[in-house]
Amino acid sequence: MELLSGNEACAIGAVRAGIRFFAGYPITPSTEIAEYMAKELPKLGGVFIQMEDEIASICAMNGATAAGMKAMTATSGPGFSLMQEGIGYSCMTEVPCIIVNVMRGGPATGLPTKPSQGDVMQARWGTHGDHPIVTLVPWNVAECFHLTVEAVNISERLRVPVIILLDEIVGHMREVVSFPEKVDLYQAPKPTKGPDEFLLYDDDTNYDGPVMSFGEGYRIHISGLTHRKDGFPTNDAETIGWKMERLKKKIEDNKHWLWDFFYTDLGSDSIIVCYGSTARSALEAKRIYEKKTGKSIGVVRFRMIWPFPYERLTALLRSAKRIIVPEMNQGQLNNEVERAVSPAVPVLPVNRVDGEMLTAEEILNVIG
C-alpha cells in the first residue's frame, strides 16, 4: 500500500507498461510525471530527455516510437497546444503515441495551478484533418495507473495516439493505493513476410497486425504526407481515399471493446453523466440526494470520452426523464451528450470555470 498522487500513479503505470522513453518539458501541473521518469527510466535502461519545448518533445517521442521503443510525454494545456502538429504526424504515420495532459485553466497561460476540464474538445479535434484518436479520463489515483497501462496497450494495438486527460485535482490528489506486480501487455506479432514483401501499411497491418521498426532489417518509410502501402507519398485519389478510410477503421472496427463506462441506477428518472474529478462530486450529490429524498439517482461515468459512445449512450439513457452533465468548462462534453439523447431527453449542464472544483451542492441545485 502506498500514498501516491495521480501523477505519480500515472508514471508508475507507464513504467510497468513498458514505457522506456520520455521526452518532455516541465509544466504545471504535470511536472511530477517528468520528475518520476527522470529518476526511474535510467535505472531500467530507458531514456529521459528534457526537451527545449513541447514541439520538440512530441517529435522526439515519435522518433523513438518509430525505432521500436514505447514512448510517452506529459504536459498541460499550453504545451498540449504546441504538440498538435506532432499528434497529427503520429496519426498519419501510425506510430503509437502516449500523451498525458493534466488539464489546467485556460486559454493561454490561464490558471497554471488551478483545475479545469477545458481540453476535452481539443483532445478530439486539436490537430487538423480527419484522424483517429482515443482519450481516457481517470477519476482517481488507482485509475491513473490502470488507464495508463490500458492507454499503452490500446496505442500499441491500434497504432494511434492515446491521450490521458487528467485534471489538476486528479493529478495532485493523494490516495492510498496498491498495484499489481505484473500487468497484461499487448505484444505486436512479427511479420511472416520477408523484407522484400512486407509493407508497413498493408491491409493486414492496420490494427492487431505485424509491425517492424527502424533498425530491424526491413524497409521502413514513414511520412506525414498521405502515402501508399509502402509509406511513400502519393497524389492518387483512390490511394488517398484508401488511406483515410484505413485511419477511420482503426476506431470504427474496434468501438465494441473501446467504449468504457461505469454506471449505476439507470432506471432512475434523473441521471448524472460525468468524468474526471467532477465524478467525485456527482457521486457525493447522489449520496446526499438519496439520503434526503429516498429516491435513486443514476450515474454514468466515462472512463473513455473519445471515441464518443453515441449509440451506446443513447441505449443506456433512453428511459431517463432528464440528464445532468457537470463539467469544469462551459459545456464541452454536454454538447456531445445532447447530440446523443436530445430532443427526447432534456440535458441540463452544471458548469464552473473559475478554477475551483465543482461541488456536489452545485449539482444538487440543478437536480432540485
Share of the chain above pLDDT 70, in %: 100
Distance CA(220)–CA(138), nearest Å, equals 35
pLDDT for position 343? 87
Q: What is the 3-state secondary structure (H, E, C) of the chain?
A: CEEEEHHHHHHHHHHHCCCCEEEECCCCCCHHHHHHHHHHHHHHCCEEEECCCHHHHHHHHHHHHHCCCCEEEEECHHHHHHCHHHHHHHHHHCCCEEEEEEEEECCCCCEEEEECCCCHHHHHHCCCCCCCCEEECCCCHHHHHHHHHHHHHHHHHHCCEEEEEEEHHHHHCEEEECCCCCCCCCCCCCCCCCCCCCCCCCHHHCCCCCCCCCCCCCCCCCCCCCECCCCCECCCHHHHHHHHHHHHHHHHCCHHHHCCEEEECCCCCEEEEECCCHHHHHHHHHHHHHHHHCCCCEEEEECEEECCCHHHHHHHHCCCCEEEEEECCCCHHHHHHHHHHCCCCCEEEEECCCCCCCCHHHHHHHHC
Candidates 250, 313, 305; CA nearest to 91 is 250
**190 CB neighbour count, 10 Å cutoff:** 12
pLDDT attached to residue 181: 85
Residues of the chain with confidence (pLDDT) below 70: none
Give domain limits for the chain. 2-177, 203-256, 262-367
At 344 the pLDDT is: 87
Q: How many residues does the chain have?
A: 368
Under a CB-based contact definition with an 8 Å cutoff, are residues 256 and 225 in contact? Answer: no
2-177 and 262-367, same CATH topology: yes
% of the chain with per-residue pLDDT over 90: 98
How far apart, in whole angstroms, are the C-alpha atoms of residue 283 and residue 277? 10
Are 171 and 137 in contact by the 8 Å Cβ rule? The answer is no
pLDDT at 342: 83
Instruction: Give me the CATH code for the 2-177 domain, please.
Output: 3.40.50.970
CATH number of 262-367: 3.40.50.920
* Contact present, 90 and 129 (Cβ < 8 Å): no
